[in-house]
Amino acid sequence: MFTSVILSQPLLVLVSFLSGMSSLYLVLRFFKKIELTIPKLSKRYFLGIFLWILVSILSIRGGTQKSFLSPSNAIVTSNPLLNQFVLNGIFTTILDYRVEKFPQYQSMNVLEAGKLVRDMIEYPGAVNANELFPLYRKTHNQTNKGKPDIFLIFLESWPTKYIHDEFSPSVSGQEITPEFRKLQKKGVYFPKFFANGGRTSNGLVSLLTGIPDRPGLSVVHTKYSLNNFLGLGTILKKSGYSTHFYYGGELSFENLTPVIKHWGFDNLIDLPVLEEKKKYQKGIWGFNDRDVMEEVLLDIKSKTDRTPRLTVLLTLSTHHPFQIPSEKFQILPPDGDENLFVNSLHYADWALGDFFKEVEKSDLFDNTVFVLVSDHTSHRQLDYFQDRNIPFLIFGKGIPKNTVNHRISSQIDLIPTILGLIDGEHYFSSMGRDILNDPRDGYAYIAFGNIFGWAEKSLFFVDTVNEHNALLFTTEPPYEARGECKNLPVLCTEHHLKSKAFLNLSEYLHSKNMIAPMEALK
């Protein structure tokens, strides 16, 4: 947990550390003087020093809550404009210094970027709904599929390395993810699906808003978390859906609670709620996947009306420290992070399979579209392709079975794809396309840390925001580096241009709050 705090809020941790060291220095200096003045001091002085240190620490971190203060804490009403008034200008200005700035060679005229992006995201049935908002679109479907329940399972840290035959899905002859591989036959699987970012917050932004997260500090930790995002929950509520988000850990730890509500989810069930039920055994980080899945299933079965339902489940068991409920899931010796992760992945896969065995016994399967997709990869012992490549499987009502689609696609394609399966008129704002209803070649934009890039056809371009050090790789086996772009200008130019367009337009829309008009959120 301490590692997660450092990764999510490094600046505030550093400030806290320096403040603590300064306080210690002052205290030592104070005690050094005490030798000559002890008779003149009282307990009141020591109490004052203690209180000063305590108040300083609490002021720096923003209170006694588990997470440091974040601009997302300002989401206290359903009105985005009112929430802006809650923000502290000095605090948000300090945070803005942590945001990656674009040098001239990575900058692009916003009109040029907007035109290029709009051409890229165009697909049949989706039209622009407001010329002032380049991503804001409308689609009207008459699929005769009605309004199926939508069930999204976001798989924590799942890479394709332990799923695809071309990598290493087995250990000593035993499959690591046999249940997921069985489920692949039930629908359409995309083996070239990319994570737009590298952390859970990045994945959630892309999957649930359709807008890729920014390089550097995640948007959920900036004032832009209050922007007019058309979250999937908000969109589907307009079509009569109830919205539910489940997680075995604490959403408040990353200040995700107000953000997920801002994206349109009314019912949040996480660790505090599950603890109150006193039905399941809690692990170090939270509740095991199968227990949370059981709670989801019970909630769905208890539904008495015909209101369509959007359910999102963010899994937990494959999160560090990779705790599993039983030794029977160990297929590798429990030593070293990679072995522990593989064991937790094997358990998480079993939980998934066991859950769907129960689902198939109910009538839930007949009127539901299921999506299994990872938030990001594990980032360990992976090559450049595996580190961005995540599983994406869609199956259920109206979805073809036992199909493999080799188009390149990414998390920002989720919202348009889901909307293409629901009858009616929908307004949305996304940088993706409906990957089940688009004849053109796909693409994937990535942004994480100080890197950004573009994957399309057989090439994968990667560059850094603050240094022009572009590299080119392949998206086909044997997955190798083609070299530096300065030696391959013809091959790199188009990919660099498209990635710059997505980088600059997304940054502009965040900074100007031009993702969607405010009335679209009502």
User: CA-CA distance, 126 to 336, in Å (whole number)?
Assistant: 48
Residue 215: HSE in the Cβ half-sphere, 13 Å Cα cutoff: 23
Residues recorded for the chain: 522
The pLDDT of residue 62 is above 70? no
Q: What's the alpha-carbon Rg for the chain, to the nearest Å?
A: 24
Q: What is the domain partition of the chain in residue ranges? A: 2-69, 150-424
State the Cα torsion 266-271-274-275 to the nearest 10°.
-140
Confidence at residue 173, expressed as pLDDT on a 0 to 100 scale: 84
Mean pLDDT of 134-143: 92
- pLDDT per residue over 100-112, tens digit each? 567 888 999 999 9
Give 101's DSSP letter.
P
Q: What is residue 106's three-state secondary structure? A: helix
Give the mean model confidence (pLDDT) for residues 482-509: 96
Candidate from 21-30, 295-304, 505-514 with smallest mean pLDDT: 21-30
Task: For residue 423, give the nearest of 149, 236, 147 by alpha carbon.
Answer: 147
Whether 42 has a pLDDT exceeding 70, the answer reads: no
Q: pLDDT tens, 339-367?
A: 999 999 999 999 999 999 999 998 888 89
The two most distant CA atoms of the chain are separated, in Å, by 88
Beta strands in 221-365 (DSSP E): 242-247, 267-269, 309-314
Rounded CA separation 187/405 (Å) = 10
β-strands 187-189, 409-410 pairing: unpaired
Contact (Cβ atoms closer than 8 angstroms) between residue 286 and residue 250: yes
Q: What angle do CA 262, 243, 223 make, to 5 degrees?
A: 10
Taking only the tens place, the pLDDT of each residue in 234-286 is 999 999 999 999 999 999 988 899 999 999 999 999 999 999 999 999 999 99
User: What phi and psi values does residue 270 have, to the nearest 5 degrees?
Assistant: -135, -160
Predicted TM-score (pTM) of this structure: 0.84
Q: What is the mean pLDDT of the chain?
A: 88
Work out the pLDDT band at 25, boundaries 50, 70, 90. low
pLDDT at 87 (0 to 100): 43
Convert the pLDDT of each residue in 442-454 to its tens digit. 999 999 999 999 9
The torsion region of residue 345 among left (phi > 0), alpha (psi -120 to 50) and beta comes to: alpha
Q: Give the residue among 492, 459, 493 at the shortest CA–CA distance from 475.
A: 459
d(CA 185, CA 298): 26
Percent of the chain with pLDDT over 90: 73
Could you tell me which residues are beta bridge partners of residue 175?
A: 170
pLDDT tens by residue, 294-320 = 999 999 999 888 899 999 999 999 999
Residue 121 confidence (pLDDT): 97
Q: Which CATH number fits domain 150-424: 3.40.50.1970, 3.40.720.10, 3.30.365.10, 3.10.180.10?
A: 3.40.720.10
